[in-house]
A and B are shown apart, each in its own frame.
Chain A
Amino acid sequence: MLRKAGARLMQGNEACAEGAIAAGLRFFAGYPITPSTEIAEGLALLLPKVGGRFIQMEDEIASISAIIGASLAGAKSMTATSGPGFSLKQEGIGFAAYTEVPCVIVNVQRVGPSTGVPTAPAQGDVMQARWGTHGDHPIVVLCPSSVAETFTLIIEAFNISERWRIPVIFLMDEVVAHMREKVVVPDVNGIPVVERPRPQVSPDDYLPYAAGEDLVPAMADFGTGYRYHVTGLTHDQTGFPTTKRPEVDALARRLDGKMKKAAPHVTFVDELFADDAEVVVFAYGITGRAAAKAVRDARAQGLKAGLVKAKTLWPFPDEHVRRLAQRVRAIVVPEMNMGQMVREVERAAAGMAKVVGLSRVDADPITPDEILARLREV
């Protein structure tokens, strides 16, 4: 099965594939695109060894559709792509969010829009990951900054998606995806793996979209005698379409409420020297690594700097940033885009701390020195 536990050199995309298998992934459908291709390559080798299925589909829309179908049949499912493919998958992502089908969509970001620079790094898909598909919808977006974190965080992606029946976007970047670093692979038997809630009632009594207190309906595997209707149309508790105003309202509010209930359990943030910091960097993905170096260098020069590294981008860690803004002078937000998360930081900081962006959009990653210079200015 998987290669054994212990320290070894692993690529980010390889960690994504192996972590997904450890989380219980058994169905992958995809259409290759750099810089995500090694995920598909790895899973083409690994999935058959664990009794899973790998399918290279004819395009990206077919890929997202296939994983939704496989998930309805009970398999933990994933697809992987980059920006151009992520744009195509939006329709399916909306369907999965509305029909509450657990699935994981990996987007290894490269420079965009459109074909952009194949295949240099960027972080330009942050807002698309949240709002790429139309209509209000629940979504969780996780973002790793190292190979080791890719392995552990992709497992969280599956656990969150299964527990809450919410599609999870796993937002990587080209640097993290392609670099290799030493990873201490944990013993797979020791990794907590979560399964979706399944019905405790007989097929006759099953209401596929009736939810209990946690607002998450139990999900029956297709082919096990629980026959129900799945539609992208607004639906009632039976799964059949409705246009009745109270039912339309109830579904929108339940999905929003479910996201709010999930939020405290799915929002992960790491801190470095943040406790007594006067100026703080808010960063994510590969930029978080440059920021860690910048903060250490700043400390060595006597500047009380700290780092908040978001592993969850959506739901945005509002509360964390709000508390931070109460005690620091300024928050620097370096991003490989023209300023996407910086607006969320500004919103959460609500004027309590100065918020300053730092954009780099020339297809190279932001360096520690660039962040350090900005820290010294604010």
Chain B
Amino acid sequence: MRKEIRLSGTGGQGLILAGIILAEAAIHDGHEVIQTQSYGPEARGGASRAEVIISDEAIDYPKVGVPDVVLVMSQEACDRYAAQVKAGGVVVVDETNVKSVPEVQGARVVRLPITDIARHEAGRQVTANMVALGALVGIAELATPGATERAIRERVPRGTEELNLKAFGLGMERAREAFGAA
């Protein structure tokens, strides 16, 4: 088993934290893992990208090539990364922020109003990264839900555990519905 995941969007959306939590969940599941990131000089507003490789074997080269799973949370990230996905892979699109999706060949595209779910259903827009993480875990089976919940509890600021777990659960549930219907 080897899976490469690219989480892309805008600085401030919490994508690097989502990548770290996914990587820690994979460690709880007993896998080898590498997480890398790339971001502009701005703390907020610039392009942001986190990448995770999960494998059963030691990982030599840490950079993601063509990923199995792609998350795009901004139009810019979508234009740049949505079409770069392995055949049989999955692209998860935050349709709150992404209005047009380029043609993606050979991979499933799952559209979900991730930021709206965070804002209106979880109750805080800042939990969009946890909704997205739930969506990825729900449909792409990157880590077990239990391990991911444990990783969330260990990483998020104290006092925000339940809020983040609620957002994660919503993402998982809504993505499975959307995936089944897609």
A residues near B, CB below 8 A?
A: 7-9, 118, 175, 178-182, 286, 289-290, 292-293, 296, 365, 367-368
Contact = CB atoms under 8 A, between A and B. Distances in A.
Contacts of A289: 60-62
Interface string B20-48: 10011001000011111100010000000
Contacts of B37: 178
A292 B60 contact: yes
B61 A180 contact: no
Interface of B: 20, 23-24, 27, 32-37, 41, 59-63
B136 to A, nearest CB: 17
A179 B35 contact: yes
B10 to A, nearest CB: 19
Given A8-B27, A180-B34, A175 B62 contact: yes
A69 B109 CA distance: 60
A289 B63 CA distance: 10
Contact of A175 (B20, B23, B36, B41): B36
Given A181-B59, A289-B60, A290-B61, A9 B23 contact: yes
Contact of B62 (A7, A118, A181): A181
Given A290-B60, A368-B61, 4 more contacts: A118-B41, A180-B20, A292-B60, A368-B60
27 contacts: A8-B24, A8-B27, A9-B23, A9-B27, A9-B33, A9-B35, A118-B41, A175-B36, A175-B62, A175-B63, A178-B36, A179-B34, A179-B36, A180-B23, A180-B34, A181-B34, A181-B62, A182-B34, A290-B60, A290-B61, A292-B60, A293-B60, A293-B61, A365-B63, A367-B61, A367-B63, A368-B61
Nearest to B25: A9
Nearest to A176: B62
Contacts of B61: 289-290, 292-293, 367-368
A367 B65 CA distance: 10
A9 B28 CA distance: 10
Contacts of A182: 27, 32-34
Contacts of A179: 34-36, 62
B147 to A, nearest CB: 12
B42 to A, nearest CB: 12
Contacts of B24: 8-9
Nearest to A296: B60
A55 B24 CA distance: 32
A144 to B, nearest CB: 13
B181 to A, nearest CB: 34
Nearest to A175: B62
Nearest to A297: B60
Q: Which 5 residue pairs across A and B have the least CB separation, nearest first?
A: A293-B60, A292-B60, A180-B35, A293-B61, A181-B34
A358 to B, nearest CB: 15
A118 B41 CA distance: 8
Contacts of A293: 60-61
A11 to B, nearest CB: 9
Contacts of A7: 27
B88 to A, nearest CB: 22
A289 B131 CA distance: 34
Contacts of A9: 20, 23-24, 27, 33, 35
Most buried by B among A7, A179, A182: A182
Nearest to A34: B41
Nearest to B61: A293
Contacts of A178: 36-37
Nearest to B27: A182
Contacts of B27: 7-9, 182
B2 to A, nearest CB: 12
A88 to B, nearest CB: 22
B34 to A, nearest CB: 5
A257 B63 CA distance: 42
Contacts of B32: 181-182
A334 to B, nearest CB: 12
A296 B37 CA distance: 25
Nearest to A183: B27
Nearest to B52: A180
A272 to B, nearest CB: 9
A181 B60 contact: no
A356 B135 CA distance: 47
Counting chain A CB atoms within 10 Å of each CB, the highest count among B24, B32, B33, B62 belongs to: B62
A36 to B, nearest CB: 16
Contacts of B59: 181
A7 B27 CA distance: 8
Nearest to A295: B60
Contacts of A292: 60-61
A300 to B, nearest CB: 13
Residue among A118, A175, A180, A290 with most chain B CB within 10 A: A180
Given A7-B27, A9-B24, A9-B27, A181 B33 contact: yes
A7 B32 CA distance: 10
Nearest to B19: A180
B35 A181 contact: yes
A50 B24 CA distance: 27
